[in-house]
Chains A and B, each alone.
Chain A
Amino acid sequence: MNVLSIANLSIDYVGAESVFHAVKDVSFNIAPGEFFGLAGESGCGKSTIAFAISRLHRPPALIRTGSKILVDGRDVLELDDAELRSFRWREVAMVFQSAMNSLNPVLTIEAQFYDVLNTHLGLSRVQAKARAAELLRLVDISPDRLSAYPHQCSGGMRQRIVIAICLALNPKLLIMDEPTTALDVVVQREILQRIDTLRKELGFSVLFITHDLGLMVQVSDRIGIMLEGELVEVNDAQTIYRAPSHDYTKRLWASMPRLHGTPIRQEPAS
């Protein structure tokens, strides 16, 4: 069974005078352990989809009837508030864009782990500390850091801490919305390599959202390309790279500066 199955998803932003169709009849699946990339420009609807999966979308965003979002076979759109609370984080965890700023600046790292581990699993302080140390080691951070405050850690470290907190409840699906956009290339590479190793060890699936197609092709198994709310092409990473079929995908590639080969000189994709 697919970890995530999205069928005929349509999301509108309803305004007083007009309705903006942000997501138009999008369908795709993510298999267990799969690293799925969703690429597209700002405003194409990719983040709207990410928020809808954990029902974090808020008015004026409206999911149209007929849309289906199944996580592990369960219809997310049917969950009541109590079900939703236990579903978020435990089933689907989300790393936000500039997640490094989503840590609470006045709490130690340890306290932020305790919050999650105590609320969802009822762990005591001592148990939570042991589990938190274990989780930090997963992302290559020394457990000494548990007593640190966020501002004492670098941006890359904070991002890894957020990822560790996301993995605290062994979610089935990790959604990462532009998780490394604010970081430099070396740190970005280290973090994505770590995620790749972890999903193979722990078996979770990843929905990776970015506008950086080069980065996406390097880490994803399959990729979906979005244009103005529509999913215009879905294929395995190699095909998206070597033999893209949609004209928009081709133009996206044409607008990417490359490390080798003839330097391109074209006008951008849109």
Chain B
Amino acid sequence: MTAPAPVLALDNVSKVFGSKDKPVYAARSVSLALYPGRTLALVGESGSGKTTAARLIMREYRPDQGQLLFRGAPVGDGSLKAYRAAVQMVFQDPFSALNPAHTVRYHLERPLRLHQPDLGATARQAAVAELLERVKLDPALIAAKYPHELSGGQRQRISIARALAVNPAVIVADEPTSMLDVSVRLGILNLLNDMKSQLGLALLYITHDIATARYVAEDIMVMYAGQIVEWGDMDSVLGNPQHPYTRLLLSAVPDPDRRFGEGRPDDELSRIDVIRRQTALPQPEVRTIAANHFIRPMPA
């Protein structure tokens, strides 16, 4: 059996900001691959480079080194229209991602008009209804509404429907649930899971919340200071975290079990400054932990 081909990949990509004498690596030799029907979680704290990776994938930034590959071919400088339809994004803030002056129907019809100009008005209406049903909203109730008439969870569903409108192959979701109530979060995560399995989408789920990452993703990458420091199979990485920074992140997750006895200890929190300083150093060496589990060892 041959390994399935990734639909999208970053190959050894670096992105540098700042000046020549004081470069800041927002991405340092980042390689990642997204596969149909699978979710990769990219986790790390604020400023670790997660969103830079998303912007590189969305082609908002050009890599300073390395390549962005779509179905094996480099994404060039020509027309990006087909690429933009294939790779869609769901943003963090459901309140600012939608235009307050337009109805839900407008938001969903616009991508259809742009990318399927041959579609007639009736077919477009039917497509809008189908999209809303896909994200478990009632078209009769929702289509004519304005964003301010919807809850945060409903708005995030509209964002997802809008992304689905152009039949994408890849969805990049940047903290899609961090601004939602705990009780609403799960519905959105379930929806992402359904999209992945029903439509065979490749999903990149960006978050600082490892507990939700575990819920939606098969693979995980832990990022700090622009570098992927530990990656691989979700259960292997979370069950047997090898990089001190991964352990630090795990320690920081609220975990009632830790307080009442059974959770993992949180020793890393007392060494937080050392771990951050050392993990920020460039580390080209990669060590294999298991078949699908790797780290860049923290420099001593």
Cα distance A187–B208 when bound, in Å?
A: 11
Q: Is the CB of B252 within 8 A of A265?
A: no
Cα distance A154–B46 when bound, in Å?
A: 10
In the complex, the chain B residue whose C-beta lies closest to that of A156 is B46
Cα distance A256–B252 when bound, in Å?
A: 16
Chain B interface: which of A17-25, A160-168, A201-209, A211-219? A211-219
Determine which of B181, B187, B212 lies in contact with A257 in the assembled complex, contact meaning CB atoms within 8 Å: B212
Q: Is the CB of A258 within 8 A of B211?
A: yes
CB distance from B105 to the nearest CB of A (A): 26
The answer, yes or no, to whether A255 is at the interface (CB within 8 Å) is yes
Report A-chain residues with C-beta under 8 Å of the C-beta of B209. 185, 257
Residue from A154, A242, A257, A265 having most chain B Cβ neighbours under 10 A: A257
Chain B interface: which of A67-75, A131-139, A188-196? A188-196
* Beta-carbon contacts under 8 Å, A33-54 to B: 41-42
Determine which of B182, B211, B214, B238 lies in contact with A211 in the assembled complex, contact meaning CB atoms within 8 Å: B182
Q: Is the CB of A242 within 8 A of B254?
A: no
* Beta-carbon contacts under 8 Å, B238-275 to A: 238, 248-260, 263, 269, 272
The answer, yes or no, to whether A101 is at the interface (CB within 8 Å) is no
Q: Is the CB of A218 within 8 A of B186?
A: no
Determine which of A213, A215, A237, A263 lies in contact with B215 in the assembled complex, contact meaning CB atoms within 8 Å: A263
Report A-chain residues with C-beta under 8 Å of the C-beta of B258. 218
Q: Is the CB of B249 within 8 A of A242?
A: no
The answer, yes or no, to whether A155 is at the interface (CB within 8 Å) is yes
Chain A 244-270: CB-based contact to B (< 8 A → 1; otherwise 0)? 000000001001111110011111111
Cα distance A188–B208 when bound, in Å?
A: 11
Q: Is the CB of A241 within 8 A of B249?
A: no
Cα distance A211–B152 when bound, in Å?
A: 14
CB distance from B212 to the nearest CB of A (A): 5
Residue from B184, B249, B250, B254 having most chain A Cβ neighbours under 10 A: B254
| Number of chain B interface residues as a range | 35 or more
Cα distance A189–B268 when bound, in Å?
A: 12
With A218-B254, A242-B260 known to touch, is A187 a contact of B186 (CB < 8 Å)? no
Count how many chain A residues have C-beta atoms less than 8 Å from C-beta atoms of the other chain: 39
* Beta-carbon contacts under 8 Å, A217-250 to B: 217-218, 237-238, 241-242
Determine which of B187, B250, B259 lies in contact with A259 in the assembled complex, contact meaning CB atoms within 8 Å: B250
Chain B 17-57: CB-based contact to A (< 8 A → 1; otherwise 0)? 00000000000000000000000000001100000000000
Q: Is the CB of A268 within 8 A of B238?
A: no
CB distance from B241 to the nearest CB of A (A): 11
Determine which of B215, B251, B254, B272 lies in contact with A212 in the assembled complex, contact meaning CB atoms within 8 Å: B254
- Counting from the closest, the 10 A-B pairs by CB-CB distance are A215-B254, A214-B254, A257-B215, A184-B208, A189-B252, A217-B256, A269-B183, A257-B211, A185-B252, A184-B45
List 4 other contacts, CB 8 Å, given A41-B184, A252-B182. Answer: A184-B208, A186-B45, A218-B255, A268-B184
**A interface list, Cβ under 8 A from B:** 41-42, 154-155, 183-190, 193, 211-215, 217-218, 237-238, 241-242, 252, 255-260, 263-270
Of the A-B pairs whose beta carbons lie under 8 Å apart in the complex, a sample of 17, sorted by A's number, is A184-B208, A185-B45, A185-B252, A189-B251, A189-B254, A189-B269, A190-B269, A190-B272, A214-B256, A257-B211, A257-B214, A259-B210, A259-B211, A260-B257, A266-B186, A268-B185, A269-B183
